[in-house]
Chain A
């Protein structure tokens, strides 16, 4: 009798013994992470906020009845319809993802032609809108603050009651952008002008680390072979360091393009194009700079200054491009408050070539 009781206790204990799979709760994740259609011409753009997926197909695609070859989604979730099921993408197709806990998320997948050769919006700097900061009004490139992909340091200068250093420049019957390194209104010696894809900080700009004020880069997919732009440049007469001491070299302009893969936790540099010059160029000159994919080899002309940023590493060049950063500046060491007051860079008609 006694041994029977012990046996019952042991069996009861064993019945409780398994650790349940949902010990820590069921997963609520229901994301489509990749969506691939064989033969697509560029990278799939997945917007997790608006739950839309755009797959670019070559320009000559006539039949939109296509079969996704790969759909990856969150662990424990299921997707419907499955990869391998042919769909008519003439109209957007809804894909539903069901999380382990039953949550359903609907994605709208559309296929567009010719997504592979995108240009940057307002890259010829024809559109400018007006913005007011601390009572100072200045022009910014783009259609509106909400939609523009271009940022400048104008807002930081306006906070210090200074004049904007990136301004629209009439050129024939169109507009270009004019960047001039200026004496700073307060706190620091000079303010190099920059024009870049991304946003200038909404908060009060950091004085010690001007680079941190810039959120560089916008979403982009495409693999351009080169970048082309027109420019003029006039280095200022006296190139000085942050303390106003003269430097032995002339000021230079910097124009660069970085293609990045930010899909993983580590940002990877996929492609680089860099133009740096101290030459006096007074007439509009067209320049074509090839994009180098993958790491720059030692000895490459850009090797010394085009290395990855602190939060970035080299990719091998084959990664998907998710972001593009284009930056123009009138003083190449403006990050460190070095430069020549009066250095002026004018740019127009930036173009990506495929």
Chain B
């Protein structure tokens, strides 16, 4: 089998990279038995999309940004204290992040290690409403997240325009502020601020993506 020759180097200065990842997670269940409860009904619908674009300002080094949108909806029906309970929630998250990406070609350049360093700002809002015979309880919250994170991975080039990437996320530094209002009591919101540093690799956050490279 003849060795494939790159006609142009995909990560050369002046190239543009584009990628999209999309996931949907949907479930409808009736009379499911879980450890603590039997759910008469359990539905959820979650999806997210990430759009990423970058420009190689020099060989094997790109700067760019990505945009993340995530939506989660869930509906639970179960019985507690002989009372029917309906637990509904919906949340939406938006994130934008500038990033820099370094590539390290291996061998003939068909495989490259890469590392992406990004600074993400994420805004989320959610509402959860629990309806019982007794009353209706509702918690609304808004959250702001700042993350300085790393995404190392490996890219396998199919040709000079397309690569398949496998990577993982290192959380890095994260700072978040969440403000929640329970039952409309805006005078007494609950506010949590959390900061953490974490450089453990979480294999469960392994992602696979397809990235396209074009000359600018």
Q: Which of B81, B88, B92, B140 contacts A21 (CB 8 A)?
A: B140
Contact check, B125 vs A18: say whether CB atoms are below 8 A apart. Answer: yes
Contact check, B184 vs A19: say whether CB atoms are below 8 A apart. Answer: no
Contact check, A10 vs B67: say whether CB atoms are below 8 A apart. Answer: yes
Which of these binds chain A: B5-13, B56-64, B129-137, B192-200? B129-137
Is the C-beta of A17 less than 8 angstroms from some C-beta in chain B? yes
Across-interface contacts of B134 in A (CB, < 8 A): 265
Contact check, A29 vs B135: say whether CB atoms are below 8 A apart. Answer: yes
Contact check, A76 vs B67: say whether CB atoms are below 8 A apart. Answer: no
Q: Main SS of the interface on chain B?
A: strand
Query: Could you tell me which residues of chain A, from 1 to 53, have a CB within 8 Å of some CB in chain B?
Result: 10, 13-14, 17-21, 23-25, 27, 29, 31
Is the C-beta of B214 less than 8 angstroms from some C-beta in chain A? no
Contact with A along B89-133 (1 / 0, CB 8 A): 011101010000000000000000000000000010111010100
- The CA-CA distance from A10 to B95 in the complex, in Å, is 11
- The CA-CA distance from A266 to B131 in the complex, in Å, is 18
Given contacts A19-B91, A29-B136, contact A75 B183 (CB under 8 A): yes
Closest A residue by C-beta to B96: A10
Closest B residue by C-beta to A74: B135
Contact with A along B67-79 (1 / 0, CB 8 A): 1010000000000
Is the C-beta of B161 less than 8 angstroms from some C-beta in chain A? no
Given contacts A29-B135, A74-B136, contact A24 B69 (CB under 8 A): no
Across-interface contacts of B140 in A (CB, < 8 A): 19, 21
Closest A residue by C-beta to B141: A19
Distance from B212 Cβ to chain A, minimum over Cβ atoms (Å): 17
Contact check, B184 vs A76: say whether CB atoms are below 8 A apart. Answer: yes
Contact check, B94 vs A21: say whether CB atoms are below 8 A apart. Answer: no
Q: Which of A13, A18, A19, A76 contacts B136 (CB 8 A)?
A: A76
Is the C-beta of B83 less than 8 angstroms from some C-beta in chain A? yes
Size of the A side of the interface (Cβ < 8 Å), in residues, is 20
Closest B residue by C-beta to A14: B94
Across-interface contacts of A18 in B (CB, < 8 A): 92, 125, 142
- The CA-CA distance from A188 to B157 in the complex, in Å, is 83
Contact check, A17 vs B94: say whether CB atoms are below 8 A apart. Answer: yes
Query: Could you tell me which residues of chain A, from 227 to 275, have a CB within 8 Å of some CB in chain B?
Result: 265-266
Across-interface contacts of B138 in A (CB, < 8 A): 21, 24, 27, 75-76
Distance from B41 Cβ to chain A, minimum over Cβ atoms (Å): 15
Closest B residue by C-beta to A27: B136
- The CA-CA distance from A6 to B88 in the complex, in Å, is 33
Contact check, B135 vs A19: say whether CB atoms are below 8 A apart. Answer: no
Across-interface contacts of B91 in A (CB, < 8 A): 19
Contact check, B127 vs A13: say whether CB atoms are below 8 A apart. Answer: no
- The CA-CA distance from A21 to B129 in the complex, in Å, is 9
Contact check, A13 vs B69: say whether CB atoms are below 8 A apart. Answer: yes
Closest B residue by C-beta to A75: B183
- The CA-CA distance from A224 to B42 in the complex, in Å, is 48
- The CA-CA distance from A76 to B129 in the complex, in Å, is 12
Q: Which of A10, A23, A27 contacts B90 (CB 8 A)?
A: A23
Contact check, B125 vs A17: say whether CB atoms are below 8 A apart. Answer: yes
Given contacts A13-B69, A21-B127, contact A75 B135 (CB under 8 A): yes
Query: Could you tell me which residues of chain B, from 159 to 189, have a CB within 8 Å of some CB in chain A?
Result: 183-184
Distance from B194 Cβ to chain A, minimum over Cβ atoms (Å): 21
Contact check, B92 vs A75: say whether CB atoms are below 8 A apart. Answer: no
Across-interface contacts of B131 in A (CB, < 8 A): 24
Distance from A71 Cβ to chain B, minimum over Cβ atoms (Å): 15
Contact check, A13 vs B135: say whether CB atoms are below 8 A apart. Answer: no
Contact check, B94 vs A13: say whether CB atoms are below 8 A apart. Answer: yes
Closest B residue by C-beta to A18: B125
Given contacts A75-B183, A76-B183, contact A23 B127 (CB under 8 A): yes
- 14 A-B pairs with CB atoms under 8 Å apart are A13-B94, A18-B92, A21-B140, A23-B90, A23-B127, A24-B90, A24-B129, A27-B135, A29-B135, A75-B136, A76-B184, A265-B82, A265-B83, A265-B134
Chain B contacts to A: CB under 8 angstroms: 67, 69, 81-83, 88, 90-92, 94, 96, 123, 125-127, 129, 131, 134-138, 140, 142, 183-184
**Known pairs A23-B90, A24-B88, A24-B90. 16 more at Cβ < 8 A?**
A10-B96, A14-B94, A17-B92, A18-B142, A19-B91, A19-B125, A20-B127, A21-B138, A23-B127, A74-B136, A75-B138, A75-B184, A76-B138, A76-B184, A100-B184, A266-B81
